[in-house]
Amino acid sequence: MERPARLIFTDLDMKRTEINKLQKEATAFFGNHNFFLPKWAFWSKANWEAKRDVTAEIVEKKLGWDVTDFGLGNFEKYGLLLFTIRNGKFEAKENKTYAEKIMIVREAQVTPWHFHWIKTEDIINRGGGNLVIELCNANEEEQLADTPVYVQIDGIAHTIDPKEKVILEPGESITLSPYLYHTFYGESGKGSVLVGEVSSVNEDEKDNRFLKNLGRFPKIVEDEPLLYFLCNEYPK
């Protein structure tokens, strides 16, 4: 089946003031959970421009800050803040075949239904509240299938119903294979969740299949100077 075109940039804008605020809140949240980002996460624009000759790994593989509202214009309801710590590329000669992210998922903040054609990932609750995940197989038309889902939770095999809620408490994890639709959000009343992702190579432009035709990286209204670059806007 030919893969449908996916939007990369969204039609709705986010403001730089909102992104700066989210980055400040995220830095405090990470620190409260004793999770620390690399020093370059906090470089200024001048630092990046001065070091552009030695940062190809970061720039080309889109490491760093990542904030999205999926083009829906309501980050609190549909959104995700991520930081990609390490990553490879799909090319055959690439020696890094894995990726790692840290994410903050807020209470009732939904990451919409999607799957990956290639990537296998472990989603790990690293602390904070509870993470709710719903799963569905993809059918031949790449829509939600009404079939049982077979999944590994902390290495233990489970069979669950389509769209059944799986709740991951701190320390628990789930393995998501290619063509397995998933949506997730923080359980209401439990607080924001520190979520880790350990996976095979991650390439958002090539390997995200959203159920609806959503955006991935937002356009930004520059209403104040940026605090930290996002992963898709480093100086070239």
- Interval 149-171 mean pLDDT: 98
201 and 98 Cβ atoms separated by less than 8 Å: yes
What does the alpha-carbon distance between residue 44 and residue 42 come to, in Å, rounded to a whole number?
7
Q: How many beta carbons lie within 10 A of that of residue 81, not counting itself?
A: 22
Residue 48 has pLDDT above 90, yes or no: yes
Q: 95 or 80, which is more confident? A: 80
223 and 20 Cβ atoms separated by less than 8 Å: no
| pLDDT for the residue numbered 12 | 64
| pLDDT for the residue numbered 205 | 87
Lowest average pLDDT, out of 41-45, 110-114, 135-139, 211-215, goes to 211-215
| pLDDT for the residue numbered 226 | 95
- Interval 170-182 mean pLDDT: 98
| pLDDT for the residue numbered 8 | 44
Q: Which residues contact 100 (CB under 8 A, 6 or more apart)?
A: 84, 85, 86, 87, 196, 197, 198, 199
pLDDT digits (tens, 9 = 90+) for 4-24: 444 444 456 899 999 999 999
- Interval 163-187 mean pLDDT: 98
What does the alpha-carbon distance between residue 27 and residue 37 come to, in Å, rounded to a whole number?
8
Domains parsed from the chain with CATH numbers: 9-221 (2.60.120.10)
pLDDT digits (tens, 9 = 90+) for 87-100: 999 987 788 999 99
Q: Which residues contact 35 (CB under 8 A, 6 or more apart)?
A: 102, 126, 194
User: How far from 217 is each of 8, 116, 185, CA to CA, in Å?
Assistant: 6, 17, 19
The neighbouring-strand residues paired with 107 are 186
Q: How many beta carbons lie within 10 A of that of residue 116, not counting itself?
A: 23
52 and 60 Cβ atoms separated by less than 8 Å: no
Q: 213 or 134, which is more confident? A: 134
Q: Which residue has the tokens 């999770």?
A: 35
- Interval 138-142 mean pLDDT: 98
Q: Write the single-letter amino acid at 136.
A: C
| pLDDT for the residue numbered 236 | 77
- Interval 173-196 mean pLDDT: 98
Mean pLDDT of the chain: 93
Residues, the chain: 236
